[in-house]
């Protein structure tokens, strides 16, 4: 992924210097709300986490349509939340309280995104609104699934996803929009919202036969499991314009 990004970066800088007014670059980050879709139909809750992104963007003469490249650290995943509850002991008649619990499935991914932005000036100032669309490729660096693998070994229950079936490379889209607010001629702020659906599966586990359950002392077959990620990202950041001026 690094060599493709570097190759695109060099071409991007050359294109920006030749055809436009230079290029813009910056950093941004913020809140991620992750969702997972499981083929088994089991319910999953939202995962609240974060992301960080470095980006480049062309600055054409008319400042209307631009192309962008992004390289980011994105946490994908989902969660299962159980609520606190009370139970009356039928023997003692006393009340026992049990706290809620949250199980988080976290995939730490490096993402490369390429796409375009369509911009329009708003109001009487230099602020611009824009919408964006692009393609996205991701590589999973690591996960937190080892926590549940240790529980599997302890109880003999392979009911949680395991690292062996994580798909390292995934792809999808980035769709969204935002606002750019100039602070000076060359420095601005960004407020952005994007939807990031995966077209591929983050996890693929084949069917597993004859799984022993120590509680029922019987064996059963586990169905195949697949999941895909969709993330909502609310982002703020700073944008710096490297302006190119031509002198005759």
Number of neighbouring beta carbons within 10 Å of residue 32:
22
pLDDT at 18: 46
How large a percentage of the chain has pLDDT more than 90? 46
Containing 4, the helix (H) or strand (E) segment is helix 2-19
Most confidently modeled of 51-65, 80-94, 185-199, 216-230? 185-199
What is the dotted CATH code of the domain comprising 2-243? 2.40.160.20
Cα gap 202→49, rounded to integer Å: 17
Cα gap 115→67, rounded to integer Å: 6
Task: Rounding to the nearest 10 degrees, give the CA dihedral for residues 12, 74, 166, 221.
Answer: -140
Ramachandran region, residue 41 (left: φ > 0; alpha: ψ -120 to 50; beta: rest): left
pLDDT at 147: 82
Mean pLDDT of the chain: 81
Under 8 Å between Cβ of 73 and 110: yes
Under 8 Å between Cβ of 138 and 113: no
Dump pLDDT digits (tens) for 22-51.
789 999 999 999 998 888 766 678 999 999
Cα gap 222→207, rounded to integer Å: 6
Under 8 Å between Cβ of 229 and 36: yes
Ramachandran region, residue 77 (left: φ > 0; alpha: ψ -120 to 50; beta: rest): left
Q: How many CA atoms lie within 13 A of 89 on its CB side?
A: 8
Which residues of 5-64 form beta strands (DSSP E)? 22-38, 47-58
Give CA 236 to chain center in angstroms. 15
pLDDT at 31: 97
Under 8 Å between Cβ of 170 and 135: no
Cα gap 230→78, rounded to integer Å: 9
For the segment 88-115, the average pLDDT, to the nearest whole number, is 76
DSSP 145-181: THHHHHHHHHHT---S--GGGB-SEEEEEEEEEEEEE
Under 8 Å between Cβ of 197 and 230: yes
Domain ranges of the chain: 2-243
């Amino acid at each position: 992924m690094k060599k493709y990004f570097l190759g695109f970066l060099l071409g991007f800088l050359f294109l920006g210097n030749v055809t436009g007014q230079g290029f813009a670059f910056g950093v941004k980050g913020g809140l991620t709300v992750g969702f997972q879709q499981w083929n088994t139909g089991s319910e999953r809750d939202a995962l609240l986490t974060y992301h960080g992104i470095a980006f480049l963007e062309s600055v054409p003469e008319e400042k209307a349509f631009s192309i962008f490249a992004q390289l980011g650290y994105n946490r994908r995943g989902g969660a299962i939340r159980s609520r606190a509850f009370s139970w009356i002991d039928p023997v003692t008649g006393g009340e026992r309280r049990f706290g809620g619990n949250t199980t988080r499935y976290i995939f730490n991914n490096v993402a490369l995104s390429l796409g375009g932005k369509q911009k329009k000036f708003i109001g009487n100032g230099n602020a611009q609104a824009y919408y964006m669309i692009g393609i996205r490729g991701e590589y999973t660096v690591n996960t937190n699934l080892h926590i549940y693998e240790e529980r599997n070994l302890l109880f003999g229950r392979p009911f949680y996803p395991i690292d062996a079936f994580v798909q390292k490379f995934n792809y999808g889209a980035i769709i969204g929009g935002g606002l750019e607010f100039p602070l000076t001629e060359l420095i601005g702020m960004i407020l952005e919202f994007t939807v990031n659906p995966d077209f591929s599966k983050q996890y693929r586990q084949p069917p597993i036969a004859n799984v022993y359950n120590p509680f029922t002392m019987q064996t059963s077959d586990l169905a195949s499991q697949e999941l895909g990620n969709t993330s909502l990202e609310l982002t703020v950041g700073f944008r710096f314009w490297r302006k190119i001026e031509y002198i005759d």
